[in-house]
Amino acid sequence: IATAATPDNAAADKLAQTIYKAEPERFVVPAQTRARHILIKGTEPSSLAQAEKLLAELKAGANFEALATAHSADPGSAAKGGDLGFFPKGRMVKPFEDALDALKQSGDLSGVVPSNFGYHIIRLEERQPASTQPFEEVRESLRAQVVGNAQKEARLKEVKRLQDQSKGDETALEAFIAEQKKLLPAATAPTAAPTK
C-alpha cells in the first residue's frame, strides 16, 4: 500500500520544490563566525600572566596555531591550532561573544578575555552572512519527506478504510443481542452469587 503510494522521482522533485518555495525560512542558515582561541584555565594571577605573555608573543609575530596547540587548555580546539570552526551567534559564552563581535577583520586579535572557563585570546578567522541553502543541497531530504508523507498518508487511509469496514451496523447488532437474550433459557441466565 505504502509503496504503491510512493510518488515517482519527477513528482517527488516537483513537490520538494513546492515545499522549498513555500517554506523558505526552513532553509536559512544563520550568520556564522569562524574563530580560533587559546584558553588558559584558572582565574589566578599566574593564569592571567600566562595569557598576557602569549598575547604579547602573538603581537610580536608568533604563530597562533602553534601557540594554541602548545598552550591551550581547550582539548577540542587545541589539537586544531585553536580552530573552533564556524558557529552561530549565541553559541559561546557572553564575554567571548562580546570580544569576538568587537573584532572587525580576519586576523584581528582580542585582548585577554576573562570568562568562567579562564582566559581566552581570540583571533577572528572569517564571517559568513546569513544565507539560504540552495535547493540542490536540500533536495534529497525534501524528497525523503515527500515520499515519507505520501506513504504515511496511504497507510492512514488504509487503516481508516479497514476501521470503517469493520464497524458494521450498530442498530442491527443491538437488535440481534436483544433477540438472543429473549431466546436464552431462564436456567442459563446469570444468577446472583449465593450469599453466605
Neighbours of 97 (CB within 10 A): 18
Q: Which residues, other chains included, contact 55 with Cβ-Cβ below 8 Å and sequence gap of 6+?
A: 109, 111, 112, 121
Claim: this prediction has a pTM higher than 0.85? no
Q: What is the pLDDT of residue 180?
A: 75
Q: Tens digit of pLDDT for each residue in 58-70? A: 999 999 999 999 9
Q: Which residues, other chains included, contact 81 with Cβ-Cβ below 8 Å and sequence gap of 6+?
A: 36, 64, 65, 66, 68, 69
Helices (H), 37-195: 45-59, 64-71, 75-78, 94-102, 135-167, 170-183
Please report the beta strands in 71-139, taking only residues with DSSP state E, as ranges in sequence order: 83-88, 109-115, 118-128, 131-132
Answer for the pair 131, 88: CB distance below 8 angstroms, yes or no. Answer: no
Query: What are the cell numbers at 12?
Result: 517527488
The low-confidence residues of the chain, meaning pLDDT below 70, are 1-5, 166-169, 185-196
Q: What is the pLDDT of residue 45?
A: 95
